[in-house]
Amino acid sequence: MLRFKDSWNFIMLGLVCLLATGLAQGQINSIKPKVHIVQTPDWIVPQDVDLLNVKGLRAPSHYYLIDSQVKTTESQQAYTRYVFSLTDPSAIASQSNIRIRFSPAYQTLNIHEIKVIRDNRNIYTLKSKDIQVINVENQQKQNIYSGDVEALILLDNIREGDVVDYSFTIIGKNPILGDKFSWFASLASNIAVDLIHVNVDMPIDRVLQFEIKGVEAEIIKDSTSDRRRYQISQFNTPAVVEEDSLPDWYDPYPSIQFSEYESWEQVSNWANDLFDVKGDFSEDLQQFITELKALEVDEAINKAIHFSQDKVRYLGLEFGLNSHKPHAPNDVFDKRYGDCKDKTLLLVTLLKQIGVKAYPALVSSTSKGHVSDYLPTHAVFDHVIVQIEYKNKVYWIDPTITHQSDYLESKFQPNYGEALLLNHQAGGITLFKDRVGSESEISITENLIAPDYFSAVQWKIKTVAKGNKADNLRYRIKVHGKQKLVNQYLNYYAKVYPDIEQLDGMIFEDDKVNNVITLFESYLLPEFWALNKNNQAEFTLFADNSNQYVVLPHMIKRKQPLYVYGPISSKHKVTLQLPEHVNFNVEDLSSKHEDEYIYFSSTLSYDNRKLTVENIYRSKNDTVHVSDVPQHISLLKKISNKMSYSNGISNVTQDPGYKSMKNLMTTLKTYQSAKIIKQGL
Amino acid sequence: MKLFIKLTLLVMCFYLQACVTTKEVPLSSVSDSFSKKDPKLTIFKFNQLLEKALNEQDTEFLKQQLNIKAINKKIHLKHPYLLNTQNKAYKLSNTLATNYLSALMGVSNLFTWQYLFSTTDIDGDYIAHYRLNSDEGYNYLDIYLTHDDFKIVDQHSLSFEYSAIDFVYQISELMLNTARDKELQHEVKSLKELFSAIKKGDFDTFQSIYKELDSSLKKELVIGEFLLRMMGKLPAIQAQLFWPEVVKFYEKINKDSLSFEGHYFEKKNYMKAIKSIFTLPEHALQDSKMQSELALLYAYEKSFERSYAAATNAIIAEPYNTEAFIVLLQVSFISKNYAISLDVIDVLNAKFNFKMTEEEIKTLEEASGFLTSEVYATWLSNQVSS
């Protein structure tokens, strides 16, 4: 499938909560889309495509041309043309349908022509009736409604060898984005292309910055009396192979960015007005503010955050004029729904009313700490959170996260790396640093207690989750219910121990002051020991929680960086208490593995009937540089071999009492619940 | 104030352990040098050596493991503001080292040491958990060992709330806070005299001072700890006078200690005896002996479900400890669950080659019900025929 990045895609990225609208709340997509068939405009720089003399056509499709041209006038015109031939039947199925996406609230679609060329002859003429316009709400499940539509043209009678040539212009851009031009275009694709052409046509008196990434390329400028063009042509671009496990911020596709913004301050100046609150508060909102003011400041902050996070449901209505402008706090408070910018403005407003410094902070959920790698632009941001300055500390609160701890100090603060603060003296990009409560940690302690080598083994597990891990667990329990979690865990363990029995109900302790969740589980494992033909009782201890963080990528030989899961700290300790002292030689089996990106230690120890495996994993960086990948992968392979420890105890059937002991332990099974003993104290 | 602290600390250092002391070990013989441990010496292997040394009262081995600098460092880690000069810190560490040795030897006179396992504390040092066995009963003592070279830096008898270093700190805090409080300053002298009276076993003086003591000070746990620790040092007659006051003190402040378990047991107040056991930290509470103790207490309370749970825990904690099985057998007799009785007798026989005769069974409480039961009769006849 063709992948092509442009500014449109940037705006529509991921959460895309910045595109919520207030034009017609409750009326999804009430604007009639405008689609016309018109001639190619004069300003287009035509690109010749030689269909006859190309040798060695690629399969399943051969792309001759991808042409992207933009003209800024009173309304933006974005022209696109694709020319490709379908050289394999598999391409016919996926590429015979033309889909052009646009937003009818402020855009018009002009289709210039669609040609199907067979034996050097165009066999297709586009008619209006061929164009169907359909809604596309592919983010409904995330409660995001864009109002976008697709013009769909289903080409008939397409055969292997046909060449499809179609072009269109989308006129108009979201007025909320202001006058400054900002645009991205890819200079390569996931398929090879004979020619990628980019053209930006600007008034001559407007200064435009540009930056090319990922490829050596030259921009050609030419001017007339009133306009300047910036063109770039890339011939015979190879297909970009997008390797797996890439860091979110990394873009493997060479690209060019254009921006009229000269600084990040200009970007924040544009956004500042959007987040200005005008007018009086509604009676209900004022009442709420009064209640907050009556509390101690600490308590008021916590209550304001809790309200914006958990009492205002997330709903992104992303169509119309208000795509970047948040709804007024009155509306959000009244309707009890909003997207990230709505919740942010509400929270900032509440905090300011109680005398706490708070600012909207534009962030990017994908680029994160690499926002400043780009030229200043509004297009890189897809999310907004709140920065709070309180008692000489800085906090970063995301009002779209629910089920966090109750206190500011212990709330997990996601690391978006870089932010653009609004209505703040900072001006430029601000770094996330010294974040309180930014660590995520999981610590699992297991105790296996064996009365002998035949009876069921008691298995007690204590899991302590902090930070983001605590938030996730809290969410799962509140939303799905504890019983579902219990069943999930039980069935997960049953993959290794099919006969597992639950001893006590799962105990769930939520310390919302420190944002720590502790889970207590206890089970019986009737088949923990495996008796082999040599009368050895074999066992395996699994200390493998960190296994999920050290997964090898599919592509080992890489030219692109590798993602490191994190930040996370994981500790997994498993202790087997044997019925008697056994001589284990464990000194040489402990090891440490570390590089610039991760730390891992595996310790095996023995202490008076207790055999313990402990694995500790810590992420140190989020990206492995390409040059370090081979060594890092070797490290991951070594680590993956340390997730469990197996051994066996010899001559266990020489214990003459093992059968009667097993019989007794079976009788006493119902008394192994820990709950029983402390009752009544 | 400095004088008070000095006096307080010197006085306190003599009362760190409750056990009867043997001869004092001269200060000069306690090691002052550091030595790195053998890298192959694991914590388990070290404790095997330590257990042997304690049971054999090998003072030379113990002296090797007592190091004043290490103790000083531990004091500083735990309570950085306890002492404000190096000299005082050194003196305290020296005194503690001497007392540790005396106390350990004192315990060795009365108990057999049994190493359980080790954990680590917040400073990264090891805490070696020991059970103290005797015919009269059990106790638990933790020995704090430095991580790198296993030097003994602190001790904690689990009958008490505080370890040795923490106890010194608490006494110091009590005296300091009293001295700083304008309304309590006059009580500093009383506290000194109170502790002195307790040390001397002068019950009348203790009673008269305590009666007049400010009510806020009467609830200070450290006073109770002081009393409790002295019980093992005073002659029996004097200890008997103090004992009811100790019990009353703890009851008034709603605190318990393992030390009271026997007391409440004798008074047949089994729930209080159980609560005394539950003051133990988890590792000692889950030990086989304490679970067996709980099993019996719950059985006397007729809480048979809990009794069986504890008895089962006792067996699982130490599957080769015959006493745990005997306790379960006892519980089965009290609860009249003779099916379990037979299962236990089978295990004792098969696993331990311990054939319980009728005479031996009769030594257990409520055995007669079992011995006259049909279940037993059937089992017996099957034994005879096989």
What's the pLDDT band for A584 if we cut at 50, 70, 90? confident
Q: State whether B346 and B230 are in the same domain.
A: no
Question: How many separate helices (H) and strands (E) can be counted in chain A?
Answer: 12, 37
Q: Quick one: CATH architecture of A269-431? A: Roll (3.10)
Residues 6+ apart with CB under 8 A from A526: A456, A499, A501
What residue has token string 């979201």? A174
pLDDT greater than 60 at residue B221: yes
Distance from C-alpha of A156 to C-alpha of B84, rounded to nearest angstrom? 92
- Give B-chain residues touching A458 at CB under 8 angstroms: 316
Interhelix angle A297-306/A340-353, nearest 10 degrees: 160
B42 and A587: CB-CB below 8 Å?
yes
Q: State whether B111 and B194 are in the same domain.
A: no
In a domain, B72, yes or no: yes
What's the pLDDT band for A19 if we cut at 50, 70, 90? very low
A656 and B117: CB-CB below 8 Å?
no
Task: Say how many Å lie between the first and final Cα of chain B, rounded.
Answer: 81
A401: left (phi over 0), alpha (psi -120 to 50) or beta: beta
Rounded to 5 degrees, φ, ψ at A433 are -150, 165
pLDDT greater than 60 at residue B25: no
B303 at interface of A, judged by CB pairs closer than 8 A: yes
A552 at interface of B, judged by CB pairs closer than 8 A: no
In a domain, B250, yes or no: yes
Q: State whether B236 and B297 are in the same domain.
A: no
Q: Which residue of chain A comes nearest to B329, CA vs CA?
A: A664
Interface residue of A447, A504, A586, A608 to substitute, partner B, most B CBs within 10 Å: A608
In a domain, B1, yes or no: no
Q: State whether B144 and B184 are in the same domain.
A: no
The distance of B254 to chain A (nearest Cα, Å) reads: 14
Closest CA to B157 of B171, B139, B145, B170: B139
Q: State whether B357 and B296 are in the same domain.
A: yes
Strand A316-317, strand A357-363: pairing: unpaired
Model pLDDT, residue A427: 75
Q: Exposed (0-12), middle (13-18) or buried (19+): which is A367, by Cβ within 10 Å? A: buried
B346 at interface of A, judged by CB pairs closer than 8 A: yes
CATH number (domain holding residue B368): 1.25.40.10
pLDDT greater than 60 at residue B150: yes
Average pLDDT value for residue range A72-89: 91
Per-residue pLDDT tens digits for A302-325? 999 999 999 999 987 666 555 678
Distance from C-alpha of A576 to C-alpha of A614, rounded to nearest angstrom? 12
- Give B-chain residues touching A677 at CB under 8 angstroms: 294, 298, 306, 309-310, 313
Per-residue pLDDT tens digits for A450-487? 999 999 999 999 999 999 999 999 999 998 899 999 99
Domain boundaries, chain A: 32-260, 269-431, 441-671
Instruction: Tell me which of B192 and A273 has the higher pLDDT.
Output: B192
pLDDT greater than 90 at residue B188: yes
Mean pLDDT, all residues of chain A: 89
Q: State whether B187 and B154 are in the same domain.
A: no
pLDDT greater than 90 at residue A338: yes
A77-91, A524-538, A543-557, B229-243: lowest mean pLDDT where? B229-243
Q: State whether B203 and B234 are in the same domain.
A: yes
Q: State whether B56 and B121 are in the same domain.
A: yes
Q: Exposed (0-12), middle (13-18) or buried (19+): which is A585, by Cβ within 10 Å? A: exposed
B343 and A607: CB-CB below 8 Å?
no
Q: Are A549 and A568 in contact (CB under 8 A)?
A: yes
Distance from C-alpha of A416 to C-alpha of A438, rounded to nearest angstrom? 11
Model pLDDT, residue A40: 95
Distance from C-alpha of B357 to C-alpha of B355, rounded to nearest angstrom? 6
Average pLDDT value for residue range A590-614: 96
Q: Are A47 and A65 in contact (CB under 8 A)?
A: yes
Residues in chain A: 681
pLDDT greater than 60 at residue A29: no
Task: To the nearest 10°, report the CA torsion of B148, B151, B156, B157.
Answer: 120
Joined together, the tokens standing for residue A267 give: 């970007």
Structure ipTM: 0.87
What's the pLDDT band for A643 if we cut at 50, 70, 90? very high
DSSP string, A348-386: HHHHHHTT-EEEEEEE-TTTGGGGGGSPS-STT--EEEE
In a domain, B231, yes or no: yes
pLDDT greater than 80 at residue A437: no
Q: State whether B75 and B125 are in the same domain.
A: yes
Model pLDDT, residue A27: 47
Q: Are A537 and A649 in contact (CB under 8 A)?
A: yes
The distance of A522 to chain B (nearest Cα, Å) reads: 14
Mean pLDDT, all residues of chain B: 88
Q: State whether B24 and B133 are in the same domain.
A: yes
pTM above 0.90, yes or no: no
In a domain, B146, yes or no: yes
Boundaries of domain holding B249: 180-254
B343 and A667: CB-CB below 8 Å?
yes
Q: Which residue of chain A comes nearest to B318, CA vs CA?
A: A579
What's the pLDDT band for A10 if we cut at 50, 70, 90? very low
Distance from C-alpha of A69 to C-alpha of A202, rounded to nearest angstrom? 11
Among B309, B320, B346, the residue with its CB nearest the CB of A673 is B309
Model pLDDT, residue B136: 86
How many domains is chain B partitioned into structurally?
A: 3
Closest CA to B97 of B120, B69, B118: B69
B350 and A659: CB-CB below 8 Å?
yes
In a domain, B12, yes or no: no
Q: State whether B137 and B211 are in the same domain.
A: no
Q: State whether B110 and B231 are in the same domain.
A: no
Interface residue of B37, B42, B44, B254 to substitute, partner A, most A CBs within 10 Å: B44
What's the pLDDT band for B282 if we cut at 50, 70, 90? very high
Please give the order of strands across the beta sheet that includes A644-649: A530-531, A537-542, A644-649
Q: Are A623 and B61 in contact (CB under 8 A)?
A: no
Model pLDDT, residue A70: 97
Question: Is domain A441-671 given the CATH code 2.60.120.1130 in the classification?
Answer: yes
pLDDT greater than 90 at residue A445: yes
Q: Provide the CATH topology of domain A32-260.
A: Immunoglobulin-like (2.60.40)
The distance of B343 to chain A (nearest Cα, Å) reads: 6
B278 at interface of A, judged by CB pairs closer than 8 A: yes
The one-letter code for the residue type at B86 is: Q
Half-sphere exposure of B272 (CA within 13 A, CB side): 17
